[in-house]
Amino acid sequence: MNTSIKTMTTQTDRTRHNMKLNFARLIRSPAFYPFVGLVVVTVFMIFASDKFLTGANLENIARQVSINAIIAVGMTCVILTGGIDLSVGPVMALSGTLTTGLMVAGVPAPIAILTGLMIGVGFGVGNGIFVAYLKMPPIIVTLATMGIARGLGLMYTDGYPISGMPDWFAWFGRGTLFGIQVPILIMLLTYFFAWVLLQHTRIGRYVYAIGGNEEAVRLSGVRASRFKLLVYSISGLTAAIAGLVLSSRLMSGQPNAGVGFELDAIAAVVLGGASIAGGRGVIIGTLVGAMLLGVLNNGLNMLGVSPYVQSVIKGAIILLAIFISRQRHK
């Protein structure tokens, strides 16, 4: 009898110990505090507006978030290596504009879509070559390619939107599959592949290592330049995917689209708990950060808050997120 009691007590102690360890790991996760922030903001919006918690509004938030969230996937990969990509907004616009322009010109749809995606990858490869192999500062390189991409988009369209898309093209931005809107599915698939890449492959381990200490990675015999080239290519690809979704939603190619989208993507990454210096962060945290921005935008709009005040509020929240992140890792 005593032996049974002792055994049960030991098992209970082990269970408690394991629960404490799991909770400690959860708190240390970069995505924990962003998730808490998302819950707090969501609860506040639920009490502040009766219409916030409706199914239609929640689906609307997810659909609105999808484009920024997709772009933020590539931005996360770049920031994890200690870099930055300011060109994603104009690259998104150029890719979407070129895709729609080719389709209107009679090019078969698969070729037009693939060309648009390859344009995004091409800009990413270009950024990666300048940063990784020519050792140029990422912020300067991507600032330059941001201007080039915007200029090419405006040159291609003479500054006018491209319309006349076939009706089926709206499926990527407005359609549904299995009862879920396609932009949301594309977003979730993008995050799934990024999660596998960063958390379960050798590539992901090197990406984190480069952001933590690039020199140590080089000294260990790993060609860091290859992986930096890869993350910029991924950033260009995700920008192009977002361009496809946006053009489909609008049913037109907009050469002026994407203004400020790079800042929203960076904000999503930072709000998700990633370090802007690189080496720390999780892809799920970026999704939480993007959702937090989406909930804020939607809720503040429903409350009738001025767009100017919204900018101040979002800026203050981003500063608070950075401050909390620095305090946690001192």
The pair of structure tokens assigned to 200 is: 């379960």
Counted domains in the chain? 2
192 and 281 co-located in one domain: yes
Residue from 142, 147, 144 nearest 85 by CA? 142
Note whether 90 and 71 are within 8 A (CB). no
pLDDT number for residue 90: 94
Secondary-structure breakdown of the chain: helix, strand, coil percentages, each rounded to the nearest 5: 80, 0, 20
225 and 314 co-located in one domain: yes
Backbone phi and psi for residue 162, each to the nearest 5 degrees, phi listed first:
-105, 125
Residue from 240, 238, 255, 236 nearest 95 by CA? 240
Assign 301 a pLDDT band (cuts: 50, 70, 90).
Answer: confident
Element (H, E) at 180: strand 180-181
pLDDT number for residue 46: 86
Predicted structure pTM score? 0.88
How far apart CA 210 and CA 265 sit, in angstroms, is 21
pLDDT number for residue 8: 56
107 and 10 co-located in one domain: no
14 and 100 co-located in one domain: no
Domain residues for the domain of 199 are 31-328
The stretches of 158-259 forming alpha helices (DSSP H) are 171-174, 182-200, 202-219, 224-250
118 and 12 co-located in one domain: no
**Residues 150-201: pLDDT tens digits?**
999 999 888 888 888 888 888 988 888 888 889 999 999 999 999 999 999 9
